[in-house]
Amino acid sequence: MLVDDLRGMLYIGLKDLRAYYFKPPNISWGVLFPFAFVLAFAIRNPGDLRALTPGLLALTLLFGTSSMEAIVIVFERRTGSLERLLLAPVRLPALLAGKMLGGMTFGMTVTLAVLIIVVIVFGASGLNWLLLALALLLSAAAFSALGAFVSVAVKEVFEAQTLANFIRFPMMFLGGVFVPVASLPSGLQVVARALPLTYAVEALRLAMTGGSLDDAVLDLLALAAFAVVLFLLAVRVLARRLE
């Protein structure tokens, strides 16, 4: 059964990558949209552009993983494709994990492209590569789980897009991308601490400034917890909708 689940996860992820993710509109949305926001902020408040790179990477990962992830499942439920997948010898958690795998792979791919540009422009001195890899991987898992939860929580594609943007856009401005969380009013700091993007930005900032794993352990644990909790919630909600 475990072997069937792992094989199913792999093929579901590959199918989604071919069918949905690696298309020009998705690539442009995943890369250009975060670039546009960061560039607009940099023009408005010129300063240390390197300080914005952790937020740029986190935003690229957020939109890369969750943009299609938030609508794939609801789209396949509408077309009947999801029911055909359920006929395969794969359990529901593995099916949903395969969906997440597609989103994570696409998000990591576009984020790595941005990271290469960042390294070319600013250099790689001071980077903690192990922490950077862990931060990117756990952030991708958390954001993909968020997208999966959004996708199973609604019935229509436009509802998924609306709900995803309702969650992502406040995160952009409260998660420490443009303004440090510590400078926010105390009430908003509490809200920021309930958002996965906050921990992604903090972990990536530590990785890009030579911080150690010990410095980022709480951020990494928080991202892992978000990924697990959102995944379990998505499995539970999808199971109820398929009853």
Q: How far is CA 212 from the centre of its chain?
A: 23
pLDDT in the model for residue 39: 67
pLDDT in the model for residue 38: 64
Share of the chain above pLDDT 90, in %: 23
- Residue range 46-68: mean pLDDT, rounded: 80
CB 85 within 8 A of CB 12: yes
- H/E/C letters for each residue in 122-179? HCCCCCCHHHHHHHHHHHHHHHHHHHHHHHHHCCCHHHHHHHHHHHHHHHHHHCCCCC
pTM over 0.75: yes
pLDDT surpassing 90 at residue 20 = no
Give the integer Cα–Cα distance in Å for 86 and 232.
18
pLDDT surpassing 80 at residue 180 = yes
- Residue range 69-87: mean pLDDT, rounded: 76
- Residue range 106-114: mean pLDDT, rounded: 87
**CA atoms within 13 A of residue 57's CA, in its CB half-sphere:** 30
pLDDT surpassing 80 at residue 14 = yes
Mean pLDDT, the chain, integer = 83
pLDDT in the model for residue 46: 59
pLDDT in the model for residue 145: 93
